[in-house]
Structure 1
């Protein structure tokens, strides 16, 4: 838990909020802003994210069991605490055998009974290993894969039940590529050193687990497993889109399945999997199954047995003794995900109960946590978001009329699910024992598998949920055209029932808006209002959207990855503006002089070189004043002085000259290839200095680096070259930046609808508009471990969280008067450069 936050649970709703030492305002006018998290000495126009979250970021403590800790971790932590109280009440009381309470209490206790689990050791899994060792035929292999699907032992392909992409009133069953122990194929096939290192550590982990299980010649066995997985990974598709119906909806009748995998015994598999009576199986990745078929021919059966053995052990690592769980965490927790410690046992037990009996504890959680008043408040916020987005869609002129009509139809027909389900899972056929944790998990897996098969014979029930009430993520499901807002999300800092509404519209309002927008321009643009896969955007719509998106990408291309470089870029931009203005006025004077030679003595201006010392650039000083009195022409000495002052020939290396050899590397600012994507690697990036302005102002040809070659022209001024900093990759981060800008614009309009022309009160010293933007910014506070920070910085789509805030708010016109943002502020963006899509 972050120590800088003091959590108070409110009576009845148990919704929590952070409070400081300041006297709180009356509940009806509480701001909802945790003032102790803010850094009021920070200038909002310089770094709004830090202004709102700076104290929290500086003094918050990362929990030992987390590699990162953000707002959703806060929400889940509190939701888990509430669920833990429900579970422990059940565990402390004797209930009749077979009751829901008995199952919750006994499952919880069976997990925490580590002494009993340690005594059993590896023995609970031995029958499965015996079954694997007895595989001697294609039929045996197929039967085991059916069994592995039932119990969740990660076979080479999984079975999954989803809503039918062609008939959303029914369900379909499909295969899906699986069977890897590392996250995806890149971990197996990439030659990058970090992946090579991970593969070596993964092999050592497999060997250690084999040794714990008593597998003979564990080192050789581990090597054979990794070799087989690497070949399996080579057949995996790259990040397949599970909602792309054009590629995925390949339905095969039972008798046609051997066309894909002739060497696989489909008859035995379908029989043991309980699928003989279905009309067909959807195969999304046909080429993957064909590759798997080849491996069944070319790979040794004994190697497959070792592979199946490994995945049985791997799937049960946390269901056996503590030695297996510790080794599992050593690799998957520490090595792969940079986590420093395991969760406390009780919290791990909460995860288990949520996973196995989630609807039982969810029903109680919903009753205790969600009030009628909160439901009504959230429904009103959501209605205003839908109204705002509908009006904005109706107003845009770049969208075709037919496309516009479908978007509005989807928003009008959207189903909003709030709180929790009306139909709950019945666990009557699931047996839970206090002394058999391994057996409990195995029986639960088989129970869930059969519950999924039952759906194949039923129509889709709109009252069913795919999320638990105690979950915290708001989501949009395109196959159902529905927005799901679980009760767990209704906590500060996303939502505070007792706060004046501004902060809620900025926080949970933007989350809801983001999911609504996804219904029309995200995954939802491939699904019609009934949820059927049918892309409905015209090509022209796509092109117009891409034009607008390109503006966002170009805008973010001009942002430095490292905060210490932002001030320097800002000073450089101010300097470029001053020079552009001086050059424009000088050119106008020269033109007037040429047209009116008799006025030359009075009109000829004298342009003094701009004075700028190093501190002005590095410390973010304002733009230098330019003396524009008499005489524009400069001597060679003056030109040299200007060059020196602008760091073109300075001893200061921070702004290397374009004339320097390209092979030279600035040690102070290493090449972007070392850790970050370089701006000059992005073809979208304009190397014109004026285009490097943080405000995105377009440049004049007279201000390009080419002007260095035309010093003889008195109408052209020398300007500083582009600083070579690691920059944001605007194209790679486009999904994030578009999400932020669009959702903030919709939520802002929704907030204005909520006001209905009224003036929001000033609370805790902040106006309603200020609280709206602060509410948005506090969504994006996060703590990282050093290892996690380094890991995400190496990703191509890395967008620092400060830009999830700063990059979005600077595109909102209302942000500027709210915080008195001027042209001198770092976040200032000229009005014609602010992007609006919806």
Structure 2
């Protein structure tokens, strides 16, 4: 990935590219935001002002390529990190904000304009939202209060988990069948935690202990805001923490979840009922919108043992407190200002280091994109994404795939049998560029202008029902996991496709009028990155059809792991923040994709320009321009708190490691910048996988 996006339930997370969010002052209400995209602040794909020429590129290439960018682009107050991807995200959001304001003000609108316009109008009506206080969540709290026995709670739990927004005890939804990727089956997985990862509950270092104390204080605060006494809130918060810790202890780590075989247990609904008899699973899936089925994937059976134990042995008051908290924390961002601030103070300010909340226009623009992204994306594509850009991106992708084919054919460590399977998989990878061939139908989604909380709930339910409704049906291989305006890209191992939304194919990541060198270094390496994910430590375990199948000989698998371990050992030496090093077992898939993707993009660029007489531009040779273009997509700054969170939860290495850690393994870089053999950016024994 170069980022992670999650569908309601995904067995094998697709890999993605991006960073964080925005810069520049927010537009004021008096400004007209909808302007031609080319008039927005423009940065070229190779930006000379982003350089720090006081640094020798052979000493620290990332600092040379991005030092000026970091100096000129301080992290905005409403962000925990800032990057080239984030800045482009902000610019795209400005454009979307204008589309939404226009849709909200129109008198003569079609159904799509009505939905996106009214949702945005309701979301930005803060006086109306503040006036309601926490009324929107009171029905859920009253429902919980009515549970007089464990039996009553468990009987209603399937309906409660469907009706009330939040993460309650487990995750469920649809997923592609690992054994037959053409079919959609049901899935059930671990869930129910309030902190970002299970390790937050288990690590014993002083910072982790402090985070848990702050989290309990946050739980207490929500309880007292809902009317509980301080003493009662303290007891309930401690009980919630104890229950969540039990669930976390039984959950797989992120590293373990990278092994698809550890989260694949294709069983029956009856098996799930035996594992967790406290929940009526058939009733739950029926209420959620699934048609009748018998087979599903149970990702974590050990977690289910802990879930059953908690549901049957934890005191009734503990179970009720847990449900209350998760209902409150889920609703908080949609309720009045004190609730929004309470959640921001812990999750954004404390955990991520973000000083201030985002302006409301931005929050609401993101939400419309999250829940009606293909409705909003149609207008974005029409105004910003040309057929020429789509065609050029497709051509670049074809050349990069050709380079990957050549690499596989000439590998000296892979047997002919495995090569044949690899080439078959490569040939069948689908390229999805810009936007879907068929737009999503939102006609069943109800949106009104005067009830934001209802609009939000309806949007969540619409997406949930759409997800559960896939169970038992053939896979729609035209579906996208991202909206067209998204500044990101991903590879899906079960779909066996690479996906590049229109939002990521904009300057400064892709510039149609620029020369090929920086475009191949930037967008080309991203295409190569996603393509290589089909053959990383996780993606290689799926075949051409997207089925989980071992198509490697034992000798080839060992050769692959030996080469990956070279990168793992290298990246484990890099520091994220303070004394925390990269967890290279977690990041190895991304690190492999960065290295392989950049190499095959370089090869494709050479092939694309072999008949041209390339000349230096702005004092840089063509090869130097390729590598600077490659480095500048990753220019970023992150607050220390965000870095700590990423060290635990992010499958991507920090930006500096993703650049310096790659070029040291490419002799082409050392040749381009005429680096001495003893320079920091040169390795005697390079890592090479593909």
What is residue 377 of structure 2 aligned with on the other side?
A: 362
Measured in 1, the distance between the counterparts of 2:227 and 2:485 equals 40
Q: 1:282 to 1:77 in 2, by over 3 A?
A: same
Residue 814, structure 1, aligned to residue 657, structure 2: no
Indicate whether 1:744 and 2:648 are aligned. Answer: no
Matched, 1:232 2:247: yes
Corresponding position: 1:101 with 2:116: no
Matches within 5 A, 1:181-580: 181-216=194-229, 217-239=232-254, 244=259, 246-266=261-281, 268-275=283-290, 277-553=292-568
Moved more, 200-209 or 54-63: 54-63
Deviation at 1:183, TM superposition (A): 1.6
- Select between 250-259 and 408-417 the one with higher mean Cα deviation: 250-259
CA contact (8 A) 1:79 1:470 kept: yes
**CA separation in 1, counterparts of 2:541 and 2:39?**
37
> What displacement does 1:113 show?
1.2
Unmatched tracts of structure 1, length 5 or more: 20-30, 563-671, 678-727
* Residue aligned with 1:176, SS: strand
Q: Is the 8 A contact 2:486 2:503 kept in 1?
A: yes
Change (3 A) 1:119 1:549: closer
Q: Are positions 1:116 and 2:128 aligned together?
A: yes
User: In 2 relative to 1, CA 352–487 (structure 1 residues): closer, same or farther, beyond 3 Å?
Assistant: same
- Separation (CA, whole Å) in 2 of partners of 1:94 and 1:515: 43
Distance 2:681 2:482 in 1: 39
Report the counterpart of residue 45 of structure 1 in structure 2: 58
Point out the structure with max Rg over C-alpha. 1
Contact 1:150–1:449 (CA<8 Å) still a contact in 2?
Answer: no
**Structure 1 residue 63 displacement after superposition:** 0.7
State the match for 2:615 in structure 1. Answer: 761
8 Å Cα contact 1:424-1:464 kept in structure 2: no
1:266-286 CA-to-partner distances (Å, cap 9, x unmatched) read 454344344462233332211
Moved more, 323-332 or 266-275: 266-275
Shift of the 359–766 alpha-carbon distance from structure 1 to 2, 3 Å rule, reads: same
Aligned position for 2:48: 35
1:772 to 626, 637, 659: 626
Which residue of structure 1 lines up, in the alignment, with residue 161 of structure 2? 148
The question of whether the paired residues in 1 share the 8 Å contact of 2:542 and 2:549 is answered with yes
How far apart are the structure 1 equivalents of 2:649 and 2:334?
33
Question: Is the CA contact 2:34–2:99 (under 8 Å) kept in the aligned structure 1?
Answer: no
1:176 corresponding residue in structure 2: 189
The aligned counterpart of 1:160 is 173
**Structure 1 residues 271, 460: CA separation in 2 closer, same or farther (over 3 Å shift)?**
closer
Conservation of the 8 A alpha-carbon contact between 2:81 and 2:642: yes
Distance 1:473 1:782 in 2: 15
Q: From the superposition, tell whether residues 223 and 267 of structure 1 become closer, same or farther in structure 2 (CA, over 3 Å).
A: same
Change (3 A) 1:787 1:526: closer
2:142 is equivalent to residue 130 of structure 1: yes
Give the superposition deviation at 1:348.
Answer: 0.3
1:555-607 deviations in Å (ceiling 9; x for gaps): 567x7759xxxxxxxxxxxxxxxxxxxxxxxxxxxxxxxxxxxxxxxxxxxxx
Question: Normalising by the residue count of structure 1, what TM-score does the alignment of the two structures yield?
Answer: 0.74
Give how far 1:74 is off: 1.8
CA RMSD, aligned part only? 2.9
Conservation of the 8 A alpha-carbon contact between 1:3 and 1:61: no
Quote the offset at 1:776 in angstroms.
0.7
Task: Indicate conservation of the 8 Å contact 2:266/2:295, yes or no.
Answer: yes
* Matched residue, 1:837: 689
Query: Which fold has the larger relative contact order, with Cα–Cα distance below 8 Å and residues 6 or more apart in sequence?
Result: 2
- What is the deviation of 1:77? 1.2
Cα 1:43–1:232 change in 2 (3 A) is: closer
Whole-Å separation in 2 of the counterparts to 1:130 and 1:758? 72
Q: Which residue of 2 aligns with 1:689?
A: none
Contact 1:15 1:491 in 2 (8 A): no
Compare 322-331 and 813-822 and name the one that shifted more.
Answer: 813-822
Could you tell me how far 1:338 is from its partner in structure 2? Answer: 1.5
Whole-angstrom CA distance in 2 between matches of 1:506 and 1:62: 25
1:688 aligned partner: none
Structure 2 runs not aligned, ≥5 long? 1-21, 26-32
**Residues 444/504 of structure 1: CA separation in 2 closer, same or farther (3 Å cut):** same
Compute the displacement of 1:104 (Å): 1.1
Residue 675 of structure 1 corresponds to 579
**DSSP-derived class of the 2:549 partner:** coil
What is the distance in 2 between the residues matched to 1:781 and 1:85? 28
The answer as to whether partners of 1:471 and 1:486 remain within 8 angstroms in 2 is: yes
Q: CA deviation at 1:493?
A: 2.7
In structure 2, C-alpha distance between the alignment counterparts of 1:105 and 1:333, rounded to whole Å: 28
Aligned 8 A contact 1:166 1:532 in 2? yes
- Residues 372, 820 of structure 1: CA spacing in aligned structure 2 closer, same or farther, 3 A cutoff? same
CA contact (8 A) 2:291 2:472 kept: no
What corresponds to 1:683 in structure 2? none
Separation (CA, whole Å) in 2 of partners of 1:495 and 1:392: 25
Greater shift in the superposed pair: 49-58 or 345-354: 49-58
Residues 1:837 and 1:15: Cα distance change in structure 2 (over 3 Å)? farther
Q: Show the counterpart of 1:648.
A: none
CA shift in 2, pair 1:791/1:443, >3 Å: closer
Paired position in structure 1 for 2:15: none
Distance 1:346 1:806 in 2: 37
Aligned to 1:92: 105
1-side partners of 2:40 and 2:357: how far apart?
Answer: 25
Question: Contact between 2:165 and 2:331, CA under 8 Å: does it hold in 1?
Answer: no
Offset of residue 459 of structure 1: 1.9
TM-score by length of 2: 0.89
* Cα separation, 2, equivalents of 1:15 and 1:826: 41
Write the mapping of 1:586-665 to structure 2, written as runs, cut at 5 A.
Answer: none
SS in 1 for 2:358: coil
CA distance in 1 between partners of 2:76 and 2:95 (Å): 19
Checking the alignment, whether the CA contact within 8 Å between 1:732 and 1:797 is kept in structure 2 is yes
Counterparts of 1:164 and 1:294 in 2: how far apart (Å)? 29
Determine the C-alpha separation between the residues in 2 that align with 1:797 and 1:103.
35
2:255–2:586 Cα contact (<8 Å) kept: no
Q: Whole-Å Cα distance in 2 between the matches of residues 139 and 388 of structure 1?
A: 62
Q: Which moved more, 1:314-323 or 1:223-232?
A: 223-232
- Alignment correspondent of 1:63: 76
Q: Is the 8 A contact 2:291 2:471 kept in 1?
A: no
